[in-house]
A and B are shown apart, each in its own frame.
Chain A
């Protein structure tokens, strides 16, 4: 594995190539849109074949259970009736969409593309931190970075048996084709000022799907059509939408949405188009519902969870509230409605006044927060100003539900550039690494 350090001398070259190919993310600062390069660190995260085999099995198990949960919640609600998940965590969740009641996505797949965030602790164990079942992003970055690293240092790849991660587009295409009900496949983007626009356009290029904004789609006679420049209308059979639920359809959801397609949800409900991922998945990736995922696995699959959650407490339960208050300084508190590294508070870092204010808020809105033990992440090496230094990092693994569950043998490894921070999000200055899964 020492070979991987040969990549160090190409770090600048690879970053220049990433800039050349416009590998950026958008960010709004002071109401102004800016495109930023996503810093790439050339030292990969390496996961051995047997270690990844366990992760793969566990990730499939988890996503299969989450899909069954979504189907159940929007139909029979057996898991609530059987007292496994309290109804407070379903119907009060901002991700729950009553409109999805009685809607049945093609092949019963709700979360076609799931981004599961994991961390590895110092003892080598893996913990699930978060499930992202709405519009998880990030696969495009390691995919293009691998391509550029192979150009830079071919001998490293000739001498190391690594799973080729550039097949993500094939897996995604297979996933989209599996639910396409007949017609074109499109990737629906809010437009170039979206933070993940690079990814939308790159995945369109690599999968051969058509990149569209809402202006190019229209609903007629309960079917969805693509408006060609020549004036022709072409049927659309699958929409990989990269806009959030509430903006998808101004007639059925947020009436103020200017980026949605009126009546697309009606077309979906009639089974005349697949929406990838299905609306309403937020009820299953809420940070509060995360606590119940191991219970879901047992309930739906009759299996023990292969992968562990980070130890989590729900102040909603009296016993857990007591634990959170007694151990406040040792826990990280997360607002279930926030994402992107926001709404995360480390108990130990609050002043006494801040702590008091936070506890009052926690007591008044216990459903809004979860408490988690702070996992001492295993540090990964990064190159910082010419020196190799340790930094916190997580891993976003991608699970795709096609004709069978597929785990992409790679992932987005994000790291914090700040030595004192656990926050790895790109929007907060983090960088990324390739993830090598060894093939033997």
Chain B
């Protein structure tokens, strides 16, 4: 097993989290964007409630612009993409120039989308590049430790978002199951009791989404 610094290990984990956050929120954003074209103009309000983020937007147009492209909005897609980039940029020697290039391209995609008259076309490229990064990671990153740290971050973030969005039990359990087996072998410090509790909460008669979110946030201790 190769050596890796604490700083790099943390960044791999957060790179996984932020790429997943961008990926999932972009897909949700795209769904609401479509709904708001000619169906429910206030669809974004439900989005804010589901995501448990403050509704600072006031209008559909402002939501479309600010949630996607406002660097000063900490919840925005571009802010999360920037955080993914900030973590990736210090990992070139771990993920390789090719791996890093997909994150760089994703960053350019969101910047181009902001300037585009058809932002959703550019945003599709962003989705493609994030998927390419994940594919590259599986295919070309030899270090299991590196892959595990990214994948744990990605899975943990997905469970967090899915629990907030109250997705069906089967969908959530599938993700929890993957995390349940990967986290203990990843070498990342975590709370074993919380992992068991998350599994139990998803299996309970009525899925306890609220407590899953509570536990997932403090599961990995970095």
> Which residues of A are in contact with B by a Cβ distance under 8 Å?
19-22, 144, 184, 191-192, 197, 201-202, 204-205, 209-213, 215-216, 226-230, 232, 234
Query: Is residue B104 within 8 Å, beta carbon to beta carbon, of the partner chain?
Result: yes
- 17 A-B Cβ contacts within 8 A? A21-B97, A22-B92, A22-B97, A22-B104, A191-B90, A192-B86, A202-B97, A205-B96, A210-B93, A211-B90, A213-B7, A216-B7, A227-B5, A227-B6, A229-B5, A229-B9, A230-B187
**Known contacts A192-B90, A201-B90; is A184 also within 8 Å of B96 by CB?**
no
Query: Which residue on chain B has the smallest CB distance to residue A16?
Result: B108
Secondary structure dominating the interface of A: mixed
**Known contacts A20-B105, A21-B101, A230-B187; is A204 also within 8 Å of B93 by CB?**
yes
B188 CB, min distance to chain A CBs, angstroms: 9
**Known contacts A216-B6, A226-B3, A228-B4; is A21 also within 8 Å of B100 by CB?**
yes
**Across the interface, do A228 and B5 meet the contact criterion of CB distance under 8 Å?**
yes
A226 CA to B8 CA in the complex, in Å? Answer: 13
Query: Which residue on chain B has the smallest CB distance to residue A215?
Result: B7
**Across the interface, do B5 and A215 meet the contact criterion of CB distance under 8 Å?**
yes
Query: Which residue on chain A has the smallest CB distance to residue B92?
Result: A201
Query: Is residue B89 within 8 Å, beta carbon to beta carbon, of the partner chain?
Result: yes
A215 CA to B11 CA in the complex, in Å? Answer: 14
Q: Which residues of A contact B108 (CB under 8 A)?
A: 19
Which one of A205, A209, A226, A228 lies within 8 Å of B92 (CB-CB)? A205
A303 CB, min distance to chain B CBs, angstroms: 41
Q: Which residues of B contact A229 (CB under 8 A)?
A: 4-6, 8-9, 187
A211 CA to B97 CA in the complex, in Å? Answer: 14
A404 CA to B90 CA in the complex, in Å? Answer: 33
Q: Which residues of A contact B9 (CB under 8 A)?
A: 229
A413 CB, min distance to chain B CBs, angstroms: 22
**Across the interface, do A216 and B5 meet the contact criterion of CB distance under 8 Å?**
yes
**Across the interface, do B89 and A22 meet the contact criterion of CB distance under 8 Å?**
yes
Q: Which residues of B contact A19 (CB under 8 A)?
A: 104, 108
Q: Which residues of A contact B86 (CB under 8 A)?
A: 192
Question: Which positions 177-194 of chain B face chain A at CB distance < 8 Å?
Answer: 187
Q: Which residues of B contact A234 (CB under 8 A)?
A: 3
Query: Which residue on chain B has the smallest CB distance to residue A187?
Result: B93
A59 CB, min distance to chain B CBs, angstroms: 29
Question: Which positions 79-120 of chain B face chain A at CB distance < 8 Å?
Answer: 86, 89-90, 92-93, 96-97, 100-101, 104-105, 108
**Across the interface, do A212 and B104 meet the contact criterion of CB distance under 8 Å?**
no
How many A-B pairs fall under 8 Å by CB? 66
Q: Which residues of A contact B7 (CB under 8 A)?
A: 213, 215-216
**Across the interface, do A205 and B97 meet the contact criterion of CB distance under 8 Å?**
yes
A22 CA to B100 CA in the complex, in Å? Answer: 8
Query: Which residue on chain A has the smallest CB distance to residue B103?
Result: A22
A211 CB, min distance to chain B CBs, angstroms: 5
Query: Which residue on chain B has the smallest CB distance to residue A211?
Result: B93
Query: Which residue on chain B has the smallest CB distance to residue A209?
Result: B93
**Across the interface, do B3 and A204 meet the contact criterion of CB distance under 8 Å?**
no
* Interface residues as binary, B27-69 with A (CB distance below 8 Å gives 1, 0 otherwise): 0000000000000000000000000000000000000000000
Q: Which residues of B contact A210 (CB under 8 A)?
A: 3, 5, 93
Q: Which residues of B contact A204 (CB under 8 A)?
A: 92-93
B95 CB, min distance to chain A CBs, angstroms: 9
Query: Which residue on chain A has the smallest CB distance to residue B145?
Result: A229
**Across the interface, do A20 and B101 meet the contact criterion of CB distance under 8 Å?**
yes
A201 CA to B7 CA in the complex, in Å? Answer: 15
A216 CA to B4 CA in the complex, in Å? Answer: 9
| Most B Cβ at <10 Å: residue of A21, A22, A230 | A22
B80 CB, min distance to chain A CBs, angstroms: 18
**Across the interface, do A202 and B92 meet the contact criterion of CB distance under 8 Å?**
yes
Query: Which residue on chain B has the smallest CB distance to residue A207?
Result: B93
Query: Which residue on chain B has the smallest CB distance to residue A217?
Result: B5
Query: Which residue on chain A has the smallest CB distance to residue B85?
Result: A22
Question: Which positions 7-26 of chain B face chain A at CB distance < 8 Å?
Answer: 7-9
Query: Which residue on chain A has the smallest CB distance to residue B3?
Result: A228
Q: Which residues of A contact B4 (CB under 8 A)?
A: 228-229
**Across the interface, do A212 and B92 meet the contact criterion of CB distance under 8 Å?**
no
What 10 additional pairs, Cβ within 8 angstroms, besides A22-B101, A215-B7?
Answer: A19-B104, A20-B101, A202-B97, A205-B96, A210-B3, A210-B93, A213-B7, A215-B5, A226-B3, A227-B5
A210 CA to B8 CA in the complex, in Å? Answer: 11
**Across the interface, do B104 and A21 meet the contact criterion of CB distance under 8 Å?**
yes
Query: Which residue on chain A has the smallest CB distance to residue B107?
Result: A22
Closest CB pairs A-B (n = 6): A201-B92, A229-B9, A216-B5, A204-B93, A205-B93, A228-B3
A215 CA to B89 CA in the complex, in Å? Answer: 17
B12 CB, min distance to chain A CBs, angstroms: 10
Q: Which residues of B contact A144 (CB under 8 A)?
A: 97
* Interface residues as binary, B164-187 with A (CB distance below 8 Å gives 1, 0 otherwise): 000000000000000000000001
A234 CA to B6 CA in the complex, in Å? Answer: 13
A180 CB, min distance to chain B CBs, angstroms: 15
A234 CA to B4 CA in the complex, in Å? Answer: 11
**Across the interface, do A201 and B93 meet the contact criterion of CB distance under 8 Å?**
yes
**Across the interface, do A211 and B92 meet the contact criterion of CB distance under 8 Å?**
yes
Q: Which residues of B contact A213 (CB under 8 A)?
A: 5, 7
* Interface residues as binary, B127-145 with A (CB distance below 8 Å gives 1, 0 otherwise): 0000000000000000000
Q: Which residues of B contact A205 (CB under 8 A)?
A: 92-93, 96-97
A56 CB, min distance to chain B CBs, angstroms: 29
A230 CA to B93 CA in the complex, in Å? Answer: 18
A22 CA to B92 CA in the complex, in Å? Answer: 10
A210 CA to B9 CA in the complex, in Å? Answer: 13
Q: Which residues of B contact A228 (CB under 8 A)?
A: 3-5
Q: Which residues of A contact B90 (CB under 8 A)?
A: 191-192, 201, 211
A212 CA to B6 CA in the complex, in Å? Answer: 10
Q: Which residues of B contact A202 (CB under 8 A)?
A: 92, 97
Q: Which residues of B contact A192 (CB under 8 A)?
A: 86, 89-90
A82 CA to B86 CA in the complex, in Å? Answer: 55
A201 CA to B101 CA in the complex, in Å? Answer: 13
Q: Which residues of B contact A22 (CB under 8 A)?
A: 89, 92, 97, 100-101, 104
